[in-house]
Amino acid sequence: MNKTAVTWCVAVAGLMLFVPGGASAQSDDVTFHKDVEPILQRSCQVCHRPDNMAPMSLMNYQETRPWARSIKNKVVAREMPPWHIDPNVGVQSFKQDRSLTSVEIETISTWVDAGAPRGNPADAPPEAPLPDFGAWDIEPDLIVTSPPHTVSAEAGDWWGDYIVDSGLDEDRYIKAIQTKAGDLRVVHHALTYAVTDPDAPINDSSNDFFLNEYAVGKNADRYPEGTGKVLEADSRVRFSFHYHSIGEEVVDQTELGMVLYPKEAGPEKELYARQLGQAGELDIPAGQITRHDGYATMYRAGRITGFQPHMHFLGKRQCLELIYPDSTTEMVNCANFDFNWHIVYNYEDGEQPIYPAGTKLHVISYHDNTESHRGNLDSTNWAGGGSRTIDEMAFAWISWYDLDDDEYEAELESRADNNN
């Protein structure tokens, strides 16, 4: 029986570089304006434009041409756009998916190999609408702002937390949420959490409730219809930042915006986001690639809405597997990992994995402590787990909501009917 109505093959763990295949486009026919520019508009320009986080602008041919060879290398390796889900494993239907198709990758590769021809400017697509800098992607009912933080013109990257009051004096449910960076040039990413313990120290987030994340190119999270997260009365909000310098002093204030359910109403289902599949004690010897496994038992039937791998510098790959009560297994997804990108992979509503009560979530994490791993600070040292950035972690952020047994059976039957 197909528990999620999708059967997928499982690939061997490790890095998997995509090599375009299939019918090749004729190089003479592929030009920037006709073929490549539409791809950049859809998947690249939201970040690669002036005064944004990306290191170069790709808004026109003149800006793009010097980077042609580098662009090809990055897209063929599926390092850019930053979407690290393995295309050969598991569910492939996600919201806000900016990854390139195999045809798009081949088009860029062919264009570069042909000398990156410009083509006829008349073939250029209309200018694509892009979100305004500083604009909300939602209309928030509640906005919480972090304290001012000065990023020096020249300094090492800074990771740290601020905790501020939410301003709520009663429990409210969130239906959409967005973390909006004040200055996109210096905020690499920002995680936000609800702090419900009034005595929680600023450096201890172990009991915090995950709310949202800002990362380059990420907009608002709109929860599936009828679901929401509770923000308890008198909660505080933890802003957990990664800042980096850009050659000039910058003062940033980042905002967390929330769309709330009416006071007298709430969602049908409460959405949860937790660190699941903690791998326990990590042992990562020098010069080795290691695997660690973590498990979480789901005591009620449920529906997974989002998957976000979490490791640190040595993290290389993470997979999410479901182990059903009858001991059969299903691989949901694998993602190659880059500490520079913390991406939440939100499933399309009709493709969200479902599971019966008693299912175990199996999180498989790989760390690369060899000198060949570019994220490795020192391959001659043993590494282990800890809360510091230079330590390691191995778990997944999982977003889900519970189903009762009848709801699960009805959804399972519906998916089976749709597949016939």
What is the CB neighbour count within 10 angstroms for residue 158?
15
Quote the pLDDT of residue 419.
79
pTM over 0.95: no
Q: What is the pLDDT of residues 383-407, one digit of tens each?
A: 999 877 789 999 998 999 999 999 9
pLDDT reported for residue 10? 33
Weakest-pLDDT range from 40-54, 77-91, 297-311: 40-54
**According to the model, what pLDDT value does residue 306 have?**
92
Number of H helices, E strands in the chain: 5, 23
Read off the tokens for 183. Answer: 């200055």
Q: Which of 368, 351, 384, 269 is nearest to 95 (CA)?
A: 351
According to DSSP, the β-strands at 209-215 and 354-355 are: unpaired
Query: In the beta sheet, which residues pair with residue 238?
Result: 163, 193
Which of the four pLDDT bands, split at 50, 70 and 90, describes residue 271? very high
pLDDT of residue 332: 98
| HEC profile of 329-384 | EEEEEEEECECCECCCEEECHHHCCEECCCEEEEEEEEEECCCCCCCCCCCCCCEE
Q: How high is the pLDDT of residue 302?
A: 97
Residue 9 pLDDT > 50, yes or no? no
CA separation for the pair 370, 367 (Å, rounded) = 9
Measured in degrees and rounded to the nearest 5, phi and psi for residue 416 equal -65, -40
